[in-house]
Structure 1
Amino acid sequence: MLKLLMVERRSVKAEAAEVAAEKKAAAAAELPPQPPPAANKTAKKGKQVAIVEGKRGGKVPSNVNLLLIFSELDDCFLRASESAHDVSKMLEANRLHYHSNFADNRGHIDHSARVMRVITWNRSFRGYLNTDDGMDDFDSEEHETHATVLDKMLAWEKKLYDEVKAGEQMKFEYQKKVASLNKLKKRNASTESIEKTKAALSHLHTRYIVDMQSMDSTVLEINRLRDEQLHPKLVALVDGMATMWATMRTHHENQSKIVIALKYLDISQSPEYTTDHHHERTLQLLAVVQDWQEQFERLMGQQKNYIKSLNNWLKLNLIPIDNNLKEKVSSPQRPQSPPIQSLLHAWHDSLEKIPEDIARTAISNFAGAVRTILQCQEEEMKLKDKCNDTQDLLTRKNQQFEDWYHKHMQRRTPPDGMDPEGPPEDELVAERRLVVETLQRRLEEEREAYNHQCIQVREKSLTSLKSRLPELFPALSYFASACSDMYGNLRSISQSHNLNGGS
């Protein structure tokens, strides 16, 4: 999420060095650089946190900047992303939602290698296929993935649907034959007609029994997939989610400690004005945070929808199929409490209680803060353009005045023995000079407004960082903690069920 700010710090540092040669622009960041991550946290080699004694005896970090703070935050995001690999492999995710552009030039840390692991881990959900074995590897149930189990169950459900539909049609035909036979008997039809109808009726009944037995086999296979493949996949997913969220909680807690150092940031060390590069990176950051909001909504919504769908399917799965005609047809009884039932019910209820609003609000507030900074930057850049336009106009007018004045003075030089021309021409000079002086005053006013806006942008940016980031990461920590506890409880439920023999 904050990777773009970190990119900005690195790129702008070089840019600021060039600006310093002309206007002594301060360097390296869209917002102030100064102190370190949390106290007692060891910084990277070459960027260690220096601790000095404050006036009241307290220890205050020194000799660090915002770049170091964000590099620590970025490391936490990468480690949190890596913790999701196992779950993503289970779900066959084909994209990652976080990767750092700040993943190079980090001294002794091989950050690029870490990022490449994050990006390329899922090239294949089981690694490269053995070409000698062809597709045989996929035929083994031990290699079934969560998705392939669902696909297989869907195929069997479609088969069951077709069989039930055909069975209903056959039942309808059977009932028509029964009605036809009853009519023949009432009309005292010939024995031959009655026997012929009875034979057709017997044939339909036999076919129905065979089809019902096939249907029962389909039901048994669906139940076997449910209990022997889907349930273990869900248990493994719960276990992976519990581990993932526990790890994410740790990293978000570390980020909460790191951003404590923001309170030591000093506006005097921030850039004097917003460059085009700063503005582009801020715009990019806003896009990333807005995407983060969207992905968070999708994460919560799709989790709930999936578990709700499984619960709804299970309710239908446990309803017995009416597969008899006049006579009973033997059909296997379905267990009314399969192992998957208690897990899905607890999962569904737990997801409804997750305190997602806290994290959602914190992300939204941070997005709003970035949006406000962006708007302030745009106003600043408009004032800068306005100053530049006025400066160009002043330069042209001043040059025009100088050229005119030079020619005018040459023309007004009187011949020998004659008096110079009078006041009217002096008024003309004053009039033209007034145009230039008015533009000069206008430029000074616009520069004053521009400089004031620059200060406002720096102050608002710093204030936003100091308020929103210390609010953001504790909210994420709280949410991750709630998710970790929830999946830990679900893991206990599944383990308890296994210890009790699945009863």
Structure 2
Amino acid sequence: MDKTRAEVRDLHCRILVAIRTIESISQRIQKAKDEELHPQLVELLHGLMRTSKTTLELHETQKQAMLEVKSFTYSAYGKFSNNSHRLATVQLESELQNWRSCFAQYISAQKAYVKALDGWLSKFNAREFDFYSRSSKSSSVLPSQNNGPPLFVICHGWLTSLEKLPDMSVMHAMTNFGKCIQELCAQQGEEQHQKRKVAGLRKELDKKVLAFHRAEGKILESKVSGKNTEVDVKHRDECLVVRKDQLDVLRKKLDAEKAKHCESMQETQQLTLRRFQEGFSSVFKSLMEFSKASLKMYAELVVKSKDSKVGDENGEPSSQ
């Protein structure tokens, strides 16, 4: 019996030591949250708010600049597209895809960070939850978004607000602009194809003109020398007329293809101006709306953090 009592006392002592250890660790965690995590999180929100304000101003300027573009005045404008132009278009599409990917990663990373932090606080703040729940006379054990430990209030509000940001509008605008760039790339390819057709016809025409002049020269020589009969000369003259008619047909065909090439050039230039203006304007507009919503979100979270701090100092749960 004495042995059993001794074992019970020993077990009781161990339990007390474990409880004190847990309480000590809990206090250190609480201190780290209050003195390190909370201020750093508030500082991060201030930084993100400043960043959102700056990006909003930049996107407003960019959008306005694109709306004011009426024409291109660079030295290559008005000339046909070449391989370097098409390569630049392909590179632009690649950069746009990378931009879209980076934006998606930024949103995903922020959501993952806040979600992980919110989940951690939900698990390790059961006592605080219970305190705030009793303080607010709530029947629920878990606090609401505006009722609970200050840090939890901020993180939960942040996580909820992130889901409401118009990030998908930005993604759609970038995707649509990417399709416009692909359309432009296809048009540049069509223009280059038309250019090659013109070059091929011009080469063929030059070759036939040269052959025609040679044949014409030989006929003149034969007439002067008198070596050929009148019938032969007449036959050659008739052949020369036929070849001349063929040259006229080829010239008309070349002129028609040159006109098509000119139209294709104009279409490429108009498409470049229109698509770039519409595409970039749409992207910048969506980014403006996103930055505006982000700025509002961070500003509200900063205010919430101040109110939570005041409520915490007064020993009251935060409520807004």
Instruction: Please give the range of the TM-score, normalised by the shorter of the 2 chains.
Output: 0.7 to 0.9
Does 2:277 align with 1:496? no
In the alignment, which residue of structure 1 is the partner of 2:60?
253
**One-letter identity of the residue aligned with 1:227:** D
More helix by share: 2
Residue 214 (structure 1) shift:
5.0
Q: How does 1:133-152 map to 2 (within 5 A)?
A: none
**One-letter identity of the residue aligned with 1:271:** Y
2 CA distance for matches of 1:396 and 1:211? 100
1 CA distance for matches of 2:274 and 2:181? 11
Residue 396 (structure 1) shift:
2.7
Equivalent residue in structure 2 for 1:342, among 142, 149, 153? 153
Give CA-to-partner distance per residue, 1:310-345, whole Å, 9 cap, x none. 11222222358xxxxxxxxxxxxxxx9543111111
Aligned residue for 1:368, secondary structure, equals helix
Give CA-to-partner distance per residue, 1:449-473, whole Å, 9 cap, x none. 1011111122223333454444443
In the alignment, which residue of structure 2 is the partner of 1:306?
113
Q: How does 1:199-348 map to 2 (within 5 A)?
A: 217-262=24-69, 265=70, 271-276=77-82, 277-319=84-126, 337-348=148-159
**One-letter identity of the residue aligned with 2:179:** G
1 CA distance for matches of 2:100 and 2:228? 86
Does 2:263 align with 1:452? yes
2 CA distance for matches of 1:198 and 1:289? 75
2 CA distance for matches of 1:314 and 1:450? 66
Residues 464, 415 of structure 1: alpha-carbon distance in 2 compared, 3 angstrom cutoff = closer
Residues 213, 412 of structure 1: alpha-carbon distance in 2 compared, 3 angstrom cutoff = farther
Residue 441 (structure 1) shift:
2.7
Residue 435 (structure 1) shift:
4.6
Residues 500, 438 of structure 1: alpha-carbon distance in 2 compared, 3 angstrom cutoff = same
Is the Cα–Cα contact under 8 Å of residues 81 and 265 in structure 2 kept in the other structure? Answer: no
Aligned residue for 2:232, secondary structure, equals coil
Give CA-to-partner distance per residue, 1:128-185, whole Å, 9 cap, x none. xxxxxxxxxxxxxxxxxxxxxxxxxxxxxxxxxxxxxxxxxxxxxxxxxxxxxxxxxx
1 CA distance for matches of 2:228 and 2:296? 106
Give CA-to-partner distance per residue, 1:210-269, whole Å, 9 cap, x none. 66665555444444333332222211111111122122223333334444433xx25899
1 CA distance for matches of 2:149 and 2:55? 32
Give CA-to-partner distance per residue, 1:366-414, whole Å, 9 cap, x none. 3333333332222112211221222223223333443454446546765
Q: CA RMSD in A?
A: 3.7
Please identify, of 222-231 and 465-474, the stretch whose mean Cα deviation from structure 2 is larger: 465-474
Count of residue pairs brought into register by the alignment: 293
**One-letter identity of the residue aligned with 2:36:** Q
Q: Which consecutive residues of structure 2, in runs of 5 or more, have no partner in the other structure?
A: 128-142, 316-320
2 CA distance for matches of 1:311 and 1:250? 31
Q: How does 1:415-454 map to 2 (within 5 A)?
A: 415=226, 419=230, 421-454=232-265
1 CA distance for matches of 2:253 and 2:111? 61
Is the Cα–Cα contact under 8 Å of residues 249 and 481 in structure 1 kept in the other structure? Answer: yes
In the alignment, which residue of structure 2 is the partner of 1:361?
172
1 CA distance for matches of 2:311 and 2:29? 24
Give CA-to-partner distance per residue, 1:71-109, whole Å, 9 cap, x none. xxxxxxxxxxxxxxxxxxxxxxxxxxxxxxxxxxxxxxx
Q: Which consecutive residues of structure 1, in runs of 5 or more, have no partner in the other structure?
A: 1-190, 321-335
